[in-house]
Amino acid sequence: MYKRQSASTLLQEARSLNATVFVDRELGRGRSEFSVPPGAELRNLISQSAARALGAIGPNWRLQPPSAPARVQLHDPEWAKSPEDSATRLWEQFESHQPSTLSVESGSLSLEVSDTRAIVSNGFDNHYPSSKLQLAARVRAKGGAPVMMHLDARHQADIRWQAAFADALQRSQRAQAAIPNESGAYDLLLLSSAYRPRGDADYGLWTALVHQCNARLAAAGLARYQVGQEILASPARGDALSIRSDGARDYGWRSAPFDNDGHAVRRFSIVENGKAAGHSLRYSEAAQKGVEANGGVRDLVMDSGTRSIEQLGTPDDRPLLVVHEIENLH
């Protein structure tokens, strides 16, 4: 991974190797993870990790035959040729597209180019290359308030520098002009920017839903989410919610051909017409049920409604509160 910060011209490089060991027995599967420090004896680390995995055997299951991994593109071949040079060029692009009406107070850019490989004793052996660009900057418009600007991309064609700066400029100006709302009942209109996640493990407004649709929690009786349960009542404006996990989109941020257990990632519905529709199933939960795993929740995709944004934004009996962004969800 290569990182660049505005406070320094130093370009830092970091390389790491992480491994997961699984031990399968009739009673279930044990799992252990370890990192490989420079100069370490890999064989000894695997043996030690396997011994730890034997002490973490899970509940009964039956092993499923390997499924074909999803076909998905996840890397930019130009970035992979020379990550160091690519990181430098990307930072230069960021600086060259900065408008004069917006100042950058601090910022950092990281470019990760990796190759992930899974080797499973049932015969599965596959790998895939991937690249990830992450940029975070604290910016301020003239006369505006400071806001964070985030840009995530897997390849060059996904980067829209002008749109990213224009969005940051508008948010800075809105934040400065914001005033408290009067108390009372409002209809809420959440724009797409309000659903924006804040990190790899964060799903923005949907974080609680993603956590609750876990099959392991449901089996233990610890989840309020149950298939068929109403998640959201039909809204006064718009259509009932339908949302699914899609980890097989080309260049999707959380897309992957297979998960950390080496099993294929699959699309699945989480909510259909306002009701809970399915659980995230890692290998252990799927094996206990005797069904195929889906790789867990990945990128979320909401179905489009039948009403336009102009129709949704038309005032009704109650005042309408339009939400552009939600901060501090946790």
57-69 pLDDT tens trace: 666 555 566 678 8
In one-letter notation, the amino acid at residue 110 is: S
**CA angle 148-153-158, nearest 5°?**
110
Instruction: Report whether pLDDT(329) > 60.
Output: no
**Strand 146-153, strand 125-141: pairing:** antiparallel
What pLDDT was estimated at residue 7?
41
**With 60 as the cut, is the pLDDT of residue 9 above it?**
no
Res 165: pLDDT: 95
CA torsion through residues 23, 25, 29, 30, sign:
negative
- The pLDDT of residue 309 is 77
pLDDT of the residue at 1: 47
Percent of the chain's residues with pLDDT above 70: 86
**What would the 3-class secondary structure string for the chain be?**
CEEEECCCCCEEECCCCEEEEEEEECCEEEEEEEECCCCCCHHHHHHHHHHHHHCCCCCCCCCCCCCCCCCCCCCCHHHHHCHHHHHHHHHHHHHHHCCCCEEEEEEEEEEEEEEEEEECCCCCEEEEEEEEEEEEEEEEECCCCEEEEEEEECCHHHCCHHHHHHHHHHHHHHHHHCCCCCCCCCEEEECHHHHCCCCCCCCHHHHHHHHHCEHHHHHCCCCCCCCCCECCCCCCCCCCCCEEEECCCCCCCCCCCECCCCCECCCEEEEECCEECCCECCHHHHHHHCCCCCCCCCEEEECCCCCCHHHHCCCCCCCEEEECCCCCCC
Structure confidence at residue 86 (pLDDT)? 95
| Percent of the chain topping pLDDT 90 | 36
Q: For the residues 299-313, what does the mean pLDDT come to? A: 82
Q: How far apart are the first and last CA of the chain?
A: 28
Summarize pLDDT for 77-103 with one digit per residue, the tens.
999 999 999 999 999 999 999 999 999
CA distance 170 to 185: 27
Q: Which of 236-245, 246-255, 273-282 has the lowest mean pLDDT?
A: 236-245
The string of pLDDT tens digits covering residues 119-130 is 776 677 889 999
Does the pLDDT of residue 192 top 80, yes or no? Answer: no
Q: What is the pTM of this model?
A: 0.74
Q: Is the pLDDT of residue 190 over 90?
A: no
Write down the pLDDT at residue 245. Answer: 95
> For position 15, what pLDDT does the model report?
62
> Cα 152 to chain center, whole Å?
10
User: Residue 56 has what pLDDT?
Assistant: 67
Q: Is the pLDDT of residue 137 over 70?
A: yes
Res. 199: pLDDT tops 90? no
